[in-house]
Structures are given as C-alpha cells and as structure tokens.
Amino acid sequence: MRVEAALPAQATFPGRPGQSRIGRPVEYCQETEGGNPRWALPDVIATSKLERYAWQDEFRLVFSLTDALQFEKVANRIVSDHTGKAQDAGEHRCCRVDIGSLRDICQLHEF
C-alpha cells in the first residue's frame, strides 16, 4: 500500500501481530455504554466515535511512531469539568505523509 510505504520505517499499525493493518472503518458506540474492553485497546479507541457521528461513515488510517497502539498502553482518568481545554501540542509529534492524490482509492463527498 502506498500510504504505508510513505511512512517512516518505525511506524506500527493497529491489530494483532500478523493481522495488523493501517486502516479500518470507525466503530460507532452508544454514549451510555459503561466499562468496555475498548478502553484497554488503544487501536480500538483511535477508531471509535460516539453514535451521534455515525452519519459521517468514517474510515481512519491509524499508525504510531512509538508503541502507543499496543494492548493496554493507555492512561485513563475521569475529568469532571468540561472546560474544553486544548491538549498540550508538545504531547503529539506531527508526521507529514506525502503520498500524492488519493482520487483513485477514495470517494470525495461534497456538502
């Protein structure tokens, strides 16, 4: 896959060894779901959204330059305020992936 070929050599992908892949459809879940095995699976967290966004019918390309997608590589916390404080930009590195046009493998939706 040309997207995978354009990534740095140390890039890792979600999934079990031998069954990893760079992308998958987003799984939409109910906001009322309680504790769920999803929260031990960073790759599943990265490809999950609340049911109210299901209209987006999204597919995500997911990779990591660290071991962040491995089983139980999570730090959970409960936040009681909804201040909308932005994440610290220093926590995440930018990784530009130059692959050219995706018109031959994607469908453009205009709204």
pTM over 0.75: no
Looking at residues 63-91, what average pLDDT do you find?
72
Beta bridge partners of 27: 48
20 domain residue, yes or no? yes
> Which of 66, 60, 54 is closest to 93 using CA atoms?
66
104 domain residue, yes or no? yes
Residue range(s) defining the domain that contains residue 52: 1-75+94-111
Tally the domains of the chain: 1
Write the pLDDT tens digit of every residue in 1-54. 677 788 888 887 776 666 667 778 899 988 887 667 777 788 888 888 989 999
Half-sphere exposure of 110 (CA within 13 A, CB side): 0
Note the pLDDT of residue 51. 92
Burial class (CB in 10 A: 0-12, 13-18, 19+), 38: middle
Note the pLDDT of residue 85. 66
pLDDT band at 100 (very low <50, low <70, confident <90, very high): confident
12 domain residue, yes or no? yes
